[in-house]
Structure 1
Amino acid sequence: MNLRDADTGKVLWQGNEDLSIPDKEHEARVPKQILKCRAVSREINFSSTEQMEKFRLQQKVLFKGRCLEEWYFEFGFVIPNSTNTWQSLIEAAPESQMMPANVLNGNILIETSFFDDDLLVSTSKLRLYYV
């Protein structure tokens, strides 16, 4: 997975860890400058042995356990035994609504649920640290 400044295309963070491993809280150390971006482009690479008709994901951004934001993304059809790249655009909240990096640091947990239509396939948890 990588995160880019959507305006410049500059990669701000890249990780190669398999984030699909359930029952593990993963960690990412992301540069705090990402909070200044108007929008962030997220690229996910994933593989599937199974065909999926309506692959989608739901993400919850939790701050100290409380849901701040919830996002929904739809990929659609996935070919069996394929490796895919999925790029999504995430627009930032207005600057007046943004919390500073030192407040967010270690207190943000992104919970991602992967679905094929209504069937839950996997859930991943990623704690963010701003460096």
Structure 2
Amino acid sequence: MQFLCSQAGYRLVQFLEFSIKNEDTNEMLFQLKRPEIPLNWEDIDPAEEGRTVNYKFPISFLQAKNIGTTLTFAVGPKELSSFRMIERHYFRDRLLKSFDFTFGFCIPNTVNTWEHIYEVPALDEKTKKEMVLSPGQTVSDSFYFVDNKLVLHNKASYSYC
């Protein structure tokens, strides 16, 4: 797997919690929480940080019209100016949706929570069926920028069952 930058960005920001829920039904679809907040940023080994996630969602995820996400992250000893994430979702190399989220300025040594509700792209039933029958062929790239410089690049794959 190829990434567009090193893992050094993990010395700037640590992702602590992430959840996804169907806003229309209030069904929690995914939830992940790190066991602890890093206390000493110098002890973080970026090479030990995961850069890929394999999501397994219920098929009901594909019926959702509105998804809510909550992200909790810790900022290290340096401020994050113009913190931004661009995320692109693909199925078999076809762009399904692109998201552009601006977190803005983040104060050093803080824990922040960011919530966003967005519309899920409309997919035809044939595509949804193919996505269910093709685990791992729905993928995403998440690009994180500070001051317009790419500092992190993560990848995810999706399966629906």
> Which TM bucket (shorter chain)?
0.7 to 0.9
TM-score (norm 2): 0.69
Aligned-CA RMSD value? 2.4
Taking a change above 3 Å as real, the CA distance of residues 79 and 96 of structure 1, as seen in their structure-2 partners, is same
Higher helix share: 2
Tell which structure's C-alpha radius of gyration is larger: 2
Which ranges of structure 2 fall in alignment gaps of 5 or more residues? 1-17, 36-47
| Deviation for aligned residue 1:63 | 1.9
Q: Which of 108, 111, 119 is the equivalent residue of 1:91?
A: 119
Higher strand share: 1
| Deviation for aligned residue 1:75 | 1.1
| Deviation for aligned residue 1:43 | 1.0
Moved >6 Å (runs of 4+): none
Aligned to 1:42: 69
Aligned to 1:113: 143
Taking a change above 3 Å as real, the CA distance of residues 95 and 112 of structure 1, as seen in their structure-2 partners, is closer
Which ranges of structure 1 fall in alignment gaps of 5 or more residues? none
Q: How many residues of Structure 1 are paired with residues of Structure 2 in the alignment?
A: 129
Asked if structure 1 preserves the Cα contact closer than 8 Å seen for 2:79 and 2:106, the reply is yes
Question: Alpha-carbon deviations, 1:16-66, whole Å to 9, x = none?
Answer: 369x936x4321111121111111001112111021121110001122344
Report percent identity of matched pairs: 23
